[in-house]
Chain A
Amino acid sequence: MKKRHLTLTAMLLVVLMISSILTGCGPKEQQTVATTEGSGEKVAEGQTTLTFTVASVPSIDPQLSNSIPSANVIKGFSEGLIRGFEGQIKPGMAEKWDVSEDGLTYTFHLRDTNWSDGSPVTAQDFEYGIKRLLDPANATSYSFAAYIIQNAAEYNSGKITDASQVGVKAIDDKTLEIKLVSPTSYFVSTLDLSCFYPAKKEFVEKYGTDFATSADKILSNGPFILKDWKHEQEIVLEKNPNYWDKDSIKLETVKILQVSDPNTALGMYENGEIDFCDVPTALVEKYQADGKTKVYMSGADDWMRINFKRTEKPWLQNVNFRKALNYAIDRENYVKTATKGLFFPATRLVLPLMAGVNGYYCEEYPINVYPTKADTAKAKEYLDKAMKELNITDPKKIVVEYTISDDDATKLMAEVLQDQVNTNLGISFEIKMVTYKQKLANDTKGDFDLIYNGWGPDYNDPMTYLELWETTNSQNGGKYSNTEFDKLIAAARVEKDAKKRMEMFHKAETILLEDAGFVPLQFRQRAWLSNDNLKNLSRFFIGADTDYVYAYFE
């Protein structure tokens, strides 16, 4: 029919017109550096560009930033007194350092090296950086990491206002002196955290609040130079020709793309657009079956916190009930069902990767209080004891509410635990889901029976986990309190002999577990994929979790 053909033709013309206009005003064609071939295919000889994704980079200000992706970026273009790589401490801006007899005074001797604008990196830059971190006017969230320094906590909380009293001083341009509150064996390793990186005073003051808000408003002193930062799209780093250790750096360019959806990132990896990526938990089984995945322990240590101040639920204060809870949970089955076998079952507090005297603390000081499988007989035994002590005959009368945050993964974990506990103990284990922020608020307020909680390490020492259970620690939301435990932790804080320290930790951790002060659940692991020719890319469990600085393609 004439009508149909006419209108169709007219419309096709219109569509063609519009689409040609739209092509013309497309988003600017971006100049992308040659993308890599991925998925283990043969890579072009001498590939020197590494491309990968992170979720989001809110800030690259060394003292203000507070996220792991930010740390991954900052560690590329900036460097502190030392540089950590896979747990090793290598010299960074400091060539060497010495410690005083009493373990309180550290003196760092800086090498001759410059910022990307040609000016020298000085001890004053480090002093300024640390004081900037602690200045209450900057309201940084990581200031607590510097509290081992003399007068740091007092300056940060406003008790003293004179910054010169803080135990950080530039003796001269190349010598930095740091005084600690008490001898701390792991102190030097904490200097790898970006909050301790240097900041040039004149540069920061020149830009004020705009400092570090774009690539031209921050200086580089690390293996790479920050070349370009398209916010929330990509960051480009280029090899720094003036870096003191430039011969160790094999890559010429690093492109860090910001993609928040993990499935999209995986798609980009499969498509050869990026060189490595994490595997979303839901797909782990599929990739592990192909034998392609690598797995690493991410440092996250999760548990059920118990509220010791919940007097209306007296079973929570009863050690036999708490023990029953610990024996009723089948951690092996839990990680298999709730995490597809990816996570590692935890029967103690301290992460297996934590450093001990010479090797790993957990190997040197094993603990065997709770099994990884459930022990239903022991669970029943302790529950009966508890019920007798509390004068309860019907276990269903024992109600506990487990507070978790409202995401699907956590919900599944909680449901598995609920099933195990209710089956093995016959009590009433309920789940309460709240928003993430509400969970944090409830934890601080002490408004919970049991709450899902965890910790990532700030430094490589068992203290980072154990001090959380000290009576006075602000993280101790359940208010667990044991004087023996407190004494051991306080003593370990000032003990200089490494072996004695670790033994104190071991004793303290054992007390905590025998007290059933909490319910250990899991040590998280992450699965990831990478090109076969990509070497020396490090996934670490403290601070920045992706170290690409020394990576190269074979």
Chain B
Amino acid sequence: MVNYIFRRLIISLLTVWVLVTAVFILVRVLPGDPFTGEKTTPEIKANMMKYYGFDKPLHVQYGRYIVNLMKGDLGTSLKYHNKKVTDIIAQTFPYSADLGIRALLFALIAGLCLGINAALNMGKFWDYFCIILAIIGVSVPDFILGSLLQYVFALQLKWLPVARWMGFKYTILPVFALSLYTVALITRLMRVSMLEVINQDYVTTAEAKGLSSFEVVWRHQIRNAILPVVTVMGPITAAVLTGTFVIEMIFAVPGMGKFYVQGIHDLDYSLILGMTVFYGVFLVAANFIVDIVYGFVDPRIRITGK
């Protein structure tokens, strides 16, 4: 097990390093530069290039960046004067995370419930209902759903606020819009997984032993069927947390999305790199944790060490 964890750790660090280097080079390859604006004169631009050290050779800039990265310094934004990238992330990430985690939790619970229900009532009304919901959730893009929900529930019915992130009722529409795709995914996954488990020998054994239906479902069926869902939780977490951008725009949630998108538009090298590094580390860590959890949940992995 220790071997397994250690190997995973090395791969994770390597992944982050490749990511940093690739993005570092790619942003500089893009046409244009951070400072050219509608009204920038060549002198002003040259001044700014010098101020931020972009007139130095590439490997010097790279070296300096990596050294600072080790110290946890992601540099200063080129557009938001004097704002450290770490400050921008510290200010905005909690909102993106808040939105993402709520969506994730809701998706997990709703998806599991619906999936289990569908499997237990296969062929009947609940089953079809869940499947149809899942198809809709997977097919409709979240921004269309978001705008639709906003129109119906905020503007027409006036039950909920239009936008912003000021209290619990503000979270309902954005969380729902963001999570529906994941609800659909987990529902379908759980349903299939449960159906496989239901037909297994150990279930028949448990029932024959005289266990109550609740115990059969809870202790034997769900516990085994949940494994595939755990596997995908890593990539799903990644998808949900990076998928907040559009929802943030529509519902004016002050998260990272706006800065990230604007940063690319402005070619704000420091901001783009800094946020990419942050996200990269975050996703790699999320997958790393899932790998470890998987190791615990599935004894086969623990024993063989793979």
The interface of chain A, by Cβ under 8 A from chain B, is 2-4, 6-8, 10-11, 14-15, 18, 22-23, 26-30, 32, 56, 58-59, 61, 64-66, 136-137, 139, 141-144, 156-158, 209-211, 213, 230-233, 257-261, 263-264, 267-268, 270-271, 273, 434-438, 440-442, 444, 455-456, 458, 474-475
Q: A268 to B254, Cβ gap below 8 A?
A: no
Give the residues in chain A near B47, CB-CB below 8 Å.
136, 139, 156-158
Give the residues in chain B near A209, CB-CB below 8 Å.
82
Q: A64 to B166, Cβ gap below 8 A?
A: no
Give the residues in chain B near A264, CB-CB below 8 Å.
150, 162-163, 249-252
Give the residues in chain A near B252, CB-CB below 8 Å.
257-261, 264
**A231 contacts which of B32, B40, B91, B150 (Cβ < 8 Å)?**
B91
Q: B105 to A29, Cβ gap below 8 A?
A: no
Chain A: CB-nearest residue to B267: A437
Q: What are 28 residue pairs bridging A and B, where the CB atoms are less than 8 Å apart in the complex? A: A4-B121, A4-B126, A7-B117, A27-B98, A28-B167, A29-B167, A64-B81, A64-B82, A141-B35, A211-B82, A213-B82, A258-B252, A258-B254, A261-B163, A261-B252, A263-B147, A263-B250, A264-B252, A267-B151, A267-B162, A268-B163, A435-B30, A436-B32, A437-B33, A438-B32, A455-B38, A474-B41, A475-B39
Give the residues in chain B near A23, CB-CB below 8 Å.
168
A66-B37 contact, Cβ under 8 Å, with A22-B102, A264-B251, A437-B32: yes
Give the residues in chain B near A156, CB-CB below 8 Å.
43-44, 47
A-B interface, 3 closest residue pairs, ranked by CB to CB distance from nearest = A437-B32, A26-B168, A438-B31
Most buried by A among B32, B33, B109, B251: B32
Chain B: CB-nearest residue to A9: B214
Q: Please report the number of residue pairs spanning A and B whose Cβ atoms sit closer than 8 angstroms.
A: 178
Give the residues in chain B near A29, CB-CB below 8 Å.
166-168
Q: Judge if B165 is at the interface, Cβ distance under 8 Å.
A: yes
Q: Judge if B123 is at the interface, Cβ distance under 8 Å.
A: no
Q: B80 to A441, Cβ gap below 8 A?
A: no
Task: Classify the interface of chain B: helix, strand, loop or mixed.
Answer: helix
Q: Judge if B6 is at the interface, Cβ distance under 8 Å.
A: no
Give the residues in chain A near B126, CB-CB below 8 Å.
4
Of residues 233 to 282 in B, which have CB atoms within 8 Å of A's CB atoms?
249-252, 254, 258, 262, 265-267
CA distance A455 to B39 in the complex (A): 9
Give the residues in chain A near B22, CB-CB below 8 Å.
none
Of residues 101 to 133 in B, which have CB atoms within 8 Å of A's CB atoms?
102, 105, 109-110, 113, 116-117, 120-121, 126
Q: Judge if B9 is at the interface, Cβ distance under 8 Å.
A: no
CA distance A23 to B168 in the complex (A): 6
Chain A: CB-nearest residue to B169: A26
Quote the shortest CB–CB distance from A142 to chain B (angstroms).
Answer: 8
Chain B: CB-nearest residue to A212: B82
Q: Judge if B230 is at the interface, Cβ distance under 8 Å.
A: no
Q: A267 to B150, Cβ gap below 8 A?
A: yes
